[in-house]
Amino acid sequence: MKLRPFFTLSLASLSLGLGLAPSAASAASFVNGLALSGDLLDLSGGTSVNNGRAGYFSDIYYDRNRNEWWGLSDRGPGGGTLDYATRAQRFTLDVDANTGAISNFKIVQTVVFGSGGNALNGIAPNPGSTLGLAHDPEGIVVLPKTGNLLVSDEYGPSVREFTRSGELVRTYTTPANLIPRNAGTGTPNFAGDTGNTAGKRTNRGFEGLAVSPDGNYAYAVLQSAMLDEGGGSGSINRIVKFDTSTGLAVGQYAYAMKRSSQGQGVSALVAINDHEFFVLERNNRGVGIGAELATADKEVYRIDLTGATDVTGINLATAAAGSYTKVSKSAPVIDLDANTLAQLGGKSPEKWEGLAIGPKLNNGSYLILAGTDNDYSVTQNGTGTQFDVYLRFTDADPYAGSIQCPLGQTTGCTGPLSSVPGDGSYRLLPGVLHAYTVTAAELGAFQAPVPEPTTWGLMGAGLLGMAAYRRRRHA
């Protein structure tokens, strides 16, 4: 028997199942994984890397009310220099209802994010107090009350609500202390860290996104510490709680990462219930585009906001020791590096960024799906010229011996070879999905999102129709 869920790359569905308190954690069981082609095209109609190549898993979300999967890609292959129409992918995935094994990934819908007829693009914002159309999506969930898409953005950092066709509905109000700015003058600057002394760091804005089961609150987590709270040396960052009815922040909580070095950061946040979450935390080591191949370290933790201090008005760098309580955090519940795929030479990918709680299986356990961001398997030089990156995963360090080719070509390349051999030994970096299962007991107090009113209405109409049909047959 196969379940055919669709896919949403939201961080809200990342709740990895475990039912123990954060102080005691159980591990999920690895089932299998998929390596998805690096040159797959989405359904936007584009035919090149910069307007049609599928971007994989900055986040994943499972909408269990519709049995849909969503996947989110980030600002595009240009590293913030290209006018790339940002988008999300809805996809299907066969799930074995007995084992949780996954197969047959297929994109079935591409949603482009836009406002007033203009696509929100991946171009990094100019210095100033407004973001304009700049958008770097990193987390996604489906709001249970409306079915709309809620997306977190790294540039602002922002949280934006879209219709299911991708039209901007509204932007939540970002707390003032998170906006990148010069602390002395208060002047915002979204373009980069130059001149900024407070607020979020460049490319370290909202990464993970989750929504409470009742849909009343959304939770967005910064990737790492803010400029005025340790910057690159800081290990404590913030989870922001938003009221979804007003779009206003109603709380902030301190989260302690494993380390501050090795590019450590939070990549995903998934709601288990209204106070417990799964957090995906990773360093920047592993098989990837330009990453150092050394000591990959990507783990999923269970956290609990119960008893944590609202640190809205507290500077986490200057606050006295013991003056606030951080969110409680379990031991690792999933080691994403513990199981690897033969297609990657048994090596761990660098950028694990997507996580979701999937459908319930026949034995009562739940599927947990984790995914990687493959950066479109593209790199660029200092002048902005882009190249496809081909890797041989049997090499000790695939990137060190990689071949860089003009976009869409396999000749005229640089590296150990001037062309990509036709024997398949070199391939574009794939997107990776891992399937895990977790028992209902381990998942614990999991609360599924409440269906939107229209869904309840349709269910009620269906039940009434069945009752009327039975009455007619009986008569």
Same domain, 451 and 402: no
pTM of the model: 0.90
Question: Beta-carbon neighbour count of residue 424 at 10 Å?
Answer: 8
Is residue 220, in this structure, part of any structural domain at all?
yes
318 and 399 both lie in a single domain? no
Q: Is 218 helix (H, G, I), strand (E, B) or coil?
A: strand
CA 129 to each of CA 97, 115, 188, 190: distance values in angstroms, whole numbers, following the listed order: 50, 19, 5, 7
Contact between residue 136 and residue 74 where contact means Cβ atoms under 8 Å apart: yes
Q: Give the whole-angstrom CA distance, residue 474 versus residue 468.
A: 10
* Inter-residue contact 432 to 358 (CB < 8 Å): no
464 and 411, same structural domain?
A: no
* pLDDT at residue 291 in the model: 65
User: Quick one: pLDDT at residue 114?
Assistant: 98
- As a dihedral over the C-alpha atoms of residue 407, residue 409, residue 410, residue 413, rounded to 10 degrees, the angle is -50
Kindly state whether residues 424 and 309 are assigned to the same domain.
no
What pLDDT digit, counting tens, does each position of 293-327 carry?
A: 678 899 999 999 999 999 999 999 999 989 999 99
Same-domain check for residues 301 and 402: no
Number of Cβ within a 10 Å radius of residue 211: 27
At 51, phi and psi to the nearest 5? -145, 10
Q: CA 222, CA 229: separation in Å to the nearest integer?
A: 12
Amino acid at 180: P
Domain count, the chain: 2
DSSP annotation string for 376-433 = GGEEE-TT--EEEEEE-TTSSSTTTT-EEEETT-SBS-BSS-SB--TTS-SEEPPEEE
Could you give the angle at the alpha carbon of 124 between the alpha carbons of 203 and 278, nearest 5°? 30
Q: Does 413 share its domain with 446?
A: no
Reading the chain (475 residues) residue by residue, the pLDDT tens digits are 334 333 333 333 333 333 333 433 457 999 999 999 999 999 999 999 999 999 999 999 999 999 999 999 999 999 999 999 999 999 999 999 999 999 999 999 999 999 999 999 999 998 888 899 999 999 999 999 999 999 999 999 999 999 999 999 999 999 999 999 999 999 999 998 999 999 999 999 999 999 999 999 999 999 999 999 999 999 999 999 999 999 999 999 999 999 999 999 999 999 999 999 999 999 999 998 776 667 889 999 999 999 999 999 999 999 998 999 999 999 999 999 999 999 999 999 999 999 999 999 999 999 999 999 999 999 998 888 999 999 999 999 999 999 999 999 999 999 999 999 999 999 999 999 999 999 999 999 999 998 766 544 444 444 444 444 344 444 4
Q: Is residue 16 part of a domain?
A: yes
Residue 296 lies in a domain: yes
Q: Are residues 295 and 360 in the same domain?
A: yes
The answer to whether position 330 is within a domain reads yes
What distance in Å separates the CA atoms of residue 261 and residue 294, rounded to the nearest whole number? 13
Instruction: Give the range of the structural domain holding residue 421, as residue numbers without chain letter.
Output: 384-428
238 contacts 178 by C-beta, under 8 angstroms: yes
Confirm whether 379 is domain-assigned.
no
48 domain-assigned? yes
Same domain, yes or no: 391 and 314: no
Whether residue 27 sits in one domain with residue 170: yes
Kindly state the tokens that stand for 311. Answer: 């640190």
Same domain, 33 and 92: yes
Same domain assignment for residues 422 and 438? no
CATH of the domain at 107: 2.120.10
Is 100 inside any structural domain? Answer: yes
The answer to the question of residue 253 being in a domain is yes
Phi, psi for residue 469 in degrees, rounded to 5: -60, -45
Same domain, 191 and 280: yes
